[in-house]
Amino acid sequence: MAAVEPKHILLTSLPLYGHAASPSWRETDPSSSRQICRRGGQPQNSPQGNRSRRVRSLRTGSPKDTLSHSTTKVFVSHCGWNNTLEASPYGFLMVAWPMFGDQLMNAEWLEKEGVGKLLHGSRIVQGHPSLTTAFRLAFFACSDITHGHLIPLLELAKKIVPFHNVTFAVSECFVGEIQQKQLVPDGLFPIIGIADGVQYNKRSPDAVVSKVVPGAELFFKNFVIGNKNSSIDAVIAGDMLSPALHILHQHKIPFFSFNTGSSGRMLHYLSITPETAVCSAGEAQVFHRIPSPGAQVPPLTDTMKKMFMPMHEVVPLSHGVIANTVSELEETFVSAIQTHSDMKGISLFNVGPLFPDHEALSADRSEEQIKVLQWLNEKEPRSVVYVSFGTLGGQNNKYIKTIAGALAAIGRPFIYSLAKDFQHLIPEDCIGDNLVLAWAPQKAILQHPSTAVFLSHCGWNSTIESLVCGVPVVAWPLRNDQEMNALLLVEKATGVLIEGAGESSNTVITVETVEQAIREVGHFEDGVVSSSRENTFRTAAEIWRVKMEGAVAGQNANSQGDFAKLITKLSQLP
């Protein structure tokens, strides 16, 4: 890839269906500042006006309490060895201002490791560019991220960082999550938090429209637009944040929309207009089929319209759309998007699949994964059924029992990823030696040779991951675009669809229906793996595994080619 001029790119997204309180952007926590003031000193006079509320002078005491506090963003230090060691566990950059002795050597080491910014020169005066630049770089070093829709965008950030400067922004409630899961290597790029009040353990699609999006808009105002020291050249935002992107366009800040779903999903929202009819949840038929060019989509709920129509509105204002897909997988949809009237002059970059090569885990989850892999190692090849309905779940209680009944009837080993609150619905005699887990290492399970079938809700991440790992699917879609994703797998011959599945469906799905689907896809006959004929689902899944691998490697690597074009596009920004 040719050398390019590095730019500073801000990537941001939101937690899937997070519940939010009143939005704000938090640089510091005023309550913690007052506490520090009571302990150590009085506010200093400040020429910056209201910034005096954020400046406190500490006369005595160790900095450990301050450094370990979640609101501490920057440590300006002389880089004595004790201070250098004391700051290292907390994951933020240091502004290094060495004075004498070995302090310069310590500071140079911090900068070499990517965790500090050295102020070069013996004389730093107020307003000097080296001082303001150092503070800007250090301020970006915060921690905050989640999984689900955010993981592909995070992987995109990792791919961009060798070519351009990257800052990643997401709701601050996920600081603990990223630290626990170690989703970003230390010092790779700074991550900052949006104080939008999102609560990790509560989910509501209405909150995305009413609370989270306003929080993102306020963040853009304060951090990207209102911050005179900001060096952001462009923003890449998850398409769920589309309503907040208008303000970037108004201030002539380039942005790219990141499609968090399939190309079929994008075609749907490109067809949603103010005239699109709304209906009750039980009557909604959106995402059940791809609309013809220029045709109206079927009626959808008011919440869905408020969520998806802004995605359509910002596309013509963007510098491009980036998608976690492979062009060959969705050729018809990709062609329709590229020729859509609202995509005229807008670049489309299909850079998928975007998944981590290796998932970093906490100590507890590493131990759990080892146990799962040991269990899988004891099973026959292509004999295990894996059941998971994603991080949001949403299964009706009666269907948990239906699935359990089907698994018991088949008699093959299974792993069922199910929240603890619902695990009691599975009969004890059904569980036996099988695994029912509140958390399951999905990628490790799908990559294991003992795994035969994936019973999935067909969220886009799970759909792509099944293809990447070459595992056939029994599709049980629940909501939104999941049925469309399931039909894509049926079209590619890598899965079957449970007809009538879905939260709003009145169809009664029987144990026999589920049992038959699992037997068909897993090639099971009377509880054993059949060897009498070819498993066509497995064969098709393996073909697509090779194609997905080839999308990012080799001579015909379409996704890698699109990624190279994206890097060039970013470098050409003014």
Q: In the chain, what are the domains?
A: 150-352+554-571 (3.40.50.2000), 363-550 (3.40.50.2000)
Which pLDDT score, from 0 to 100, does residue 5 have? 67
What is the full DSSP assignment across 141-189?
-B----STTHHHHHHHHHHHTTTSEEEEEEEGGGHHHHHHHT-S-TTSS
Give the span between the Cα atoms of 1 and 20, in whole angstroms. Answer: 42
pLDDT in tens, 414-435: 999 999 989 999 999 999 999 9
What one-character DSSP code corresponds to residue 209?
I
Instruction: Enumerate long-range contacts of 534-540, CB under 8 Å, 24 or more apart.
Output: 535/382, 535/472, 536/493, 537/472, 537/493, 537/494, 537/495, 537/496, 538/382, 538/452, 538/470, 538/472, 540/472, 540/492, 540/493, 540/494
Report, as ranges of residue numbers, the positions in the chain whose pLDDT lies below 50.
Answer: 16-57, 59-60, 121-146, 203
pTM of the full predicted structure?
Answer: 0.75
The alpha carbon torsion through 438, 444, 447, 453 (nearest 10 deg) reads: -10
Which pLDDT score, from 0 to 100, does residue 138 have? 30
Give the span between the Cα atoms of 153 and 151, in whole angstroms. Answer: 5
